C-alpha cells in the first residue's frame, strides 16, 4: 500500500486549488447519507490519496459536495443505473463504474453487467488503472 501511495504522489498533477483530504468525521457523515458503511479499504484510500489528481480518471472524493466526484452523488447515480446497492463506486469513467464490495475487491460494471476485470484490492486497482490512465 505505501509503495502505491508514493507512486500516486509522484504521478500526481499539481493543482492550482488543491483538494482536501477528509477526516474520520467526514467519512461518518457520508456513511450516514448513504446508509451503507464505507468499506475499510476505501476509507484508507479516501483518507490518504483522495486529494490527488493523476492521469485522466477521477476517483471519488468526499470533501467538496459540489464536485462531480463527490461520493454520495456518484453512488446515487450508479445505484439509479442499476449498480447493486451492496457495492459502492470508487470511480466513474464514461459509462463504466469501478466499484468496491465490502470485502475490498474492485469490480468493473457497465450497462448492467460486470466486466471481466477484477482487482484484489483498491491499491492494485490504483496501480493498474489510475496511475496508468
**pLDDT computed for residue 93 by the predictor:** 92
**pLDDT computed for residue 8 by the predictor:** 93
Coil vs helix vs strand at 102: coil
- Where are the chain's structural domains? 2-130
Coil vs helix vs strand at 118: strand
- Mean pLDDT of each 10-residue bin along the chain, 133 residues long: 92 87 97 96 97 93 95 97 96 93 96 94 96 88
Q: Crossing angle for the helix pair 71-80 and 24-34, nearest 10 degrees?
A: 20
CB hemisphere CA count around 72 (13 angstroms) = 15
Rounded Cα–Cα distance for residues 90 and 84 (Å): 14
**pLDDT computed for residue 54 by the predictor:** 92
Dihedral sign, CA of 115, 69, 41, 133? positive
Q: What is the pTM assigned to this prediction?
A: 0.93
CATH class of 2-130: alpha beta
**pLDDT computed for residue 25 by the predictor:** 97
**pLDDT computed for residue 68 by the predictor:** 93
Nearest to 133, CA basis, from 14, 11, 17: 11
Amino acid at each position: 500500500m505505501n509503495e502505491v501511495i508514493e507512486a500516486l504522489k509522484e504521478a500526481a498533477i499539481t493543482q492550482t486549488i488543491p483538494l482536501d483530504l477528509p477526516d474520520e468525521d467526514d467519512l461518518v457523515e457520508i456513511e450516514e447519507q448513504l446508509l451503507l458503511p464505507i468499506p475499510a479499504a476505501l476509507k484508507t484510500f479516501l483518507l490518504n490519496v483522495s486529494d490527488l489528481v493523476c492521469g485522466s480518471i477521477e476517483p471519488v472524493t468526499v470533501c467538496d459536495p459540489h464536485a462531480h466526484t463527490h461520493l454520495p452523488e456518484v453512488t446515487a447515480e450508479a445505484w439509479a443505473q442499476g449498480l447493486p446497492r451492496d457495492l459502492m463506486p470508487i470511480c466513474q469513467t464514461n459509462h463504466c463504474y469501478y466499484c468496491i464490495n465490502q470485502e475490498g475487491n474492485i469490480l468493473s460494471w457497465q450497462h448492467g453487467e460486470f466486466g471481466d476485470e477484477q482487482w484484489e484490492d483498491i491499491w492494485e486497482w490504483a496501480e493498474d488503472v489510475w496511475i496508468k490512465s
